[in-house]
Structure 1
């Protein structure tokens, strides 16, 4: 299974790059991971640099992009920090928290990171070596597009990494956007000759209708680029049921009927995969409230999700008038649930003495829970197991936050974790709850117990449903792509 070049032994590997962001690279990689894993290969995913506030905690105690955790599930392996060694988590329009090999490296503005990213290449290559040493095949995902040649200097996400690791590349393009021929041919036109040669083929994604209707388009692209067409992937509707990589992929639920849960979408919403099981639950109507829209008066539950910038999102929340809507919701006897950053917002104050999210100081919270939060430099990224106090249902998930929350309502915790550690808080009337634990609703028993208090019927086996969709995605790709050629290219490094 290993190719030998000189004194080096290379694990077969291939990189999927795109003509742009959100062309479907993440799911193509996830589907290929499942496809080749089902053939008996030990497959691992890898993404050198990701930008997403939807993170997952790994078994080795760090954080990676949620898409790589899904790809690891496709491979049937545990996610590791080395599968996504550099993760950028935007905190403002111009700056992001930088995570390196699972741990917080610092907060940088875009220009500052541009000067630093080349220095991170040794860490990226170290992680790639670790991942490769444990696999028969590594499927690598690029970020954005190699056509962004203004970002080529010091690049570690696309061609810069492909050249450093000596990887063959497949280019993925999204026909549903329109202009797909121009996007592929245009990418070819702006790449250096050496980079053009590194791309060994292309695929067309998200075709609606008869793929044969694009035969002439494939021939035109092949003639103008010299790249081999490896297939046209038809639209895969169930992709919408898989966890989204970034907030652009957020969508309402799938037409459930029952308890109505509304979620205000803040500017720095994070770890929004907490919503995915609720989106799929037939006994739930999940509605996302966009900026400028009021919180509806008929909600049963208002869920405040995680945030990458709690203080900033609190100001954003108030700017929409949602604080007023939330008070009216409470007066009507509605329930409120805050998760992580949403939990912190529900308290009386949020203090940031070290300026972790901006100028140091203390801001007033929404005041629905009698708790106070102090943001700290130390970041908690741990797996968590325990019990939901109200129902006794078992829970498992993960914590990924900065800050400690204390106060009288913490004496009535929402969870008991890791033996008897209290987590979260519940108001005296039981209408408002908060927790630091992400991933709660992936627990079928907890989700059923929680929703049953609102009269909702449940029956979703969430993890099994995701696994089934990955199986279907793998079959979908096998029918539409020349997967034997993909494997041949990966082995011919």
Structure 2
């Protein structure tokens, strides 16, 4: 099990690297994260929902993502509440106190999934969550040492030296653990090091002498990686290109991995715009997905962003809305059941002639189809997934069905039955596109066609899957010394 001294210490990438290294050795391996809190999620082969990081780790292991790899997923809808997803399906919306009481039941789901994976794979690489040193969360813990103790799993502890204070993080974390938990830690990994290793060596010697535990590896800072982020928006925005894309970023943004291909695109200047920042001049604005569509729309109204979006359209710019961002483009968003909070109805941006009603049931599906609005009229393949609670309908959809309106995509997989089905809409003036499709930029032909639609002449294609594979191989190569060290540690080496 890989645990970290802090969030974003490198647990997810370390598990991915070890999964790839085990795969190289011909050892069947599955990733596992007992409890994840993230708004970036993926749809699995068995029709459920897990954290995006576990889907990436499954790719590294060469297997299809499955709900057993992340049996408990928490998707925050406010500062004190979250949607609780168990074995890929929504169980309930709970506040923090209610969920703390629910953890006993959640642990049973965690252990069931873990045992199924242990029966299928020779090795299971487990990822912790946050830090095991959160004293207030120790009771009923299912995410870190509580799980490790329950299944008798050895732990390696990773810390990020780039943040500073790495020795305090490691020794302080150990001091917060019980005696049995400290014994469970077999060694340390220091992540994201850049500099002269000889200058670090005295600190490593001190750490090993003070704790009696080995430093298993010092891993380098790897630049230019293209790997799915678990939750936090990665720093260092793309600014190499001249085609500017702006993504307004509300508090409950979800699946911002939709923009990974754009971040990597050499012709694109991609900028995430946060609170208090005006929306700058842009060629394309994209409204991202949201875990709380009505709340995020109200927040955006308070920022003055809708007025800036309308000004952008008056000057000929293009606009895309994805999932929750798509719902915001309509006339109204109704929540009669209180799915996202207080029941009620909110006026949308009024840019597409449709209405959305939020529903208790969540749509979860992997989809593929085609996009036929590039400047040469050629249909290009698209693929992705849908994760949303809500149904959109209205005159704009009726026009598409009658052949007098434009669909954003024609999908080949849908709950509506066999054949092609429209997903999303394009406005009559061709400036606004909205869709429930996550991952619309992920295939090379699709990102090229969408950028041409948005106004980028001679748009290049970017193969995100190829970039991701290259990054996993680089990551695995960098972690090879750690892998060799672990092979000498039972039970890993057995």
Say yes or no: TM over 0.5: yes
Equivalent position of 2:136 in the other structure: 150
CA distance in structure 2 between the partners assigned to 1:456 and 1:370 by the alignment: 32
Q: How far 1:238 sits from its partner (Å)?
A: 2.8
Q: How far 1:246 sits from its partner (Å)?
A: 1.1
CA distance in structure 1 between the partners assigned to 2:436 and 2:427 by the alignment: 16
Q: How far 1:389 sits from its partner (Å)?
A: 3.7
Equivalent position of 1:433 in the other structure: 433
SS in 2 for 1:238: coil
User: What are the ranges of 5 or more consecutive residues in structure 2 without an aligned counterpart?
Assistant: 401-405, 413-418
Equivalent position of 1:262 in the other structure: 246
Equivalent position of 2:272 in the other structure: 288
Equivalences for 1:356-371 in 2 at 5 Å? 356-371=339-354
CA distance in structure 1 between the partners assigned to 2:83 and 2:235 by the alignment: 22
Equivalent position of 1:459 in the other structure: 461
Equivalent position of 1:91 in the other structure: 77
Note if 1:193 corresponds to 2:194: no
**Which of 377, 382, 388 is the matching residue for 2:371?**
388
Q: Is the 8 A contact 1:49 1:86 kept in 2?
A: yes
SS in 1 for 2:359: strand
Q: Is the 8 A contact 2:18 2:479 kept in 1?
A: yes
Q: Is the 8 A contact 2:330 2:351 kept in 1?
A: yes
Equivalences for 1:83-482 in 2 at 5 Å? 83-239=69-225, 241-249=226-234, 251-253=236-238, 255-297=239-281, 299-391=282-374, 392-410=379-397, 411=400, 412-418=406-412, 419-453=419-453, 454=455, 455-479=457-481, 481=482
CA distance 1:251–1:402, shift in 2 (3 Å) = farther
CA distance in structure 1 between the partners assigned to 2:75 and 2:431 by the alignment: 32
Q: How far 1:395 sits from its partner (Å)?
A: 1.0
TM-score (norm 1): 0.94
Q: Is the 8 A contact 1:409 1:428 kept in 2?
A: no
CA distance in structure 2 between the partners assigned to 1:206 and 1:420 by the alignment: 47
Q: How far 1:403 sits from its partner (Å)?
A: 0.4
Note if 1:45 corresponds to 2:39: no
Equivalent position of 2:415 in the other structure: none
CA distance in structure 2 between the partners assigned to 1:154 and 1:483 by the alignment: 34
User: What are the ranges of 5 or more consecutive residues in structure 1 without an aligned counterpart?
Assistant: 1-14
Kindly provide the CA deviation profile for residues 62-119 of structure 1, in whole angstroms up to 9, marking residues without a partner as x: 1111111111111111111110000000100111001101000111111111111122
Q: How far 1:456 sits from its partner (Å)?
A: 4.5
Matched residue pairs, number?
A: 475
SS in 1 for 2:3: strand
Equivalent position of 2:403 in the other structure: none
Q: How far 1:379 sits from its partner (Å)?
A: 0.4
Higher relative contact order (CA closer than 8 Å, sequence separation 6+): 1
CA distance in structure 1 between the partners assigned to 2:236 and 2:100 by the alignment: 32
TM-score (norm 2): 0.94
Return 441-450 or 219-228, whichever deviates more: 219-228
CA distance in structure 1 between the partners assigned to 2:43 and 2:156 by the alignment: 29
CA distance in structure 1 between the partners assigned to 2:487 and 2:35 by the alignment: 23
Q: How far 1:144 sits from its partner (Å)?
A: 0.7
CA distance in structure 1 between the partners assigned to 2:73 and 2:235 by the alignment: 20
Equivalent position of 2:416 in the other structure: none
Return 408-417 or 264-273, whichever deviates more: 408-417
CA distance in structure 2 between the partners assigned to 1:172 and 1:383 by the alignment: 34
CA distance in structure 2 between the partners assigned to 1:123 and 1:483 by the alignment: 33
Q: How far 1:485 sits from its partner (Å)?
A: 2.5
Q: Is the 8 A contact 2:331 2:347 kept in 1?
A: yes
Return 110-119 or 166-175, whichever deviates more: 110-119
**Which of 16, 20, 26 is the matching residue for 1:34?**
20
Kindly provide the CA deviation profile for residues 118-154 of structure 1, in whole angstroms up to 9, marking residues without a partner as x: 2211110111111222212111100011111221100
Kindly provide the CA deviation profile for residues 20-76 of structure 1, in whole angstroms up to 9, marking residues without a partner as x: 111111111111111121111111110000000000111110111111111111111
RMSD: 1.4
Q: How far 1:387 sits from its partner (Å)?
A: 1.3
CA distance in structure 1 between the partners assigned to 2:190 and 2:91 by the alignment: 37
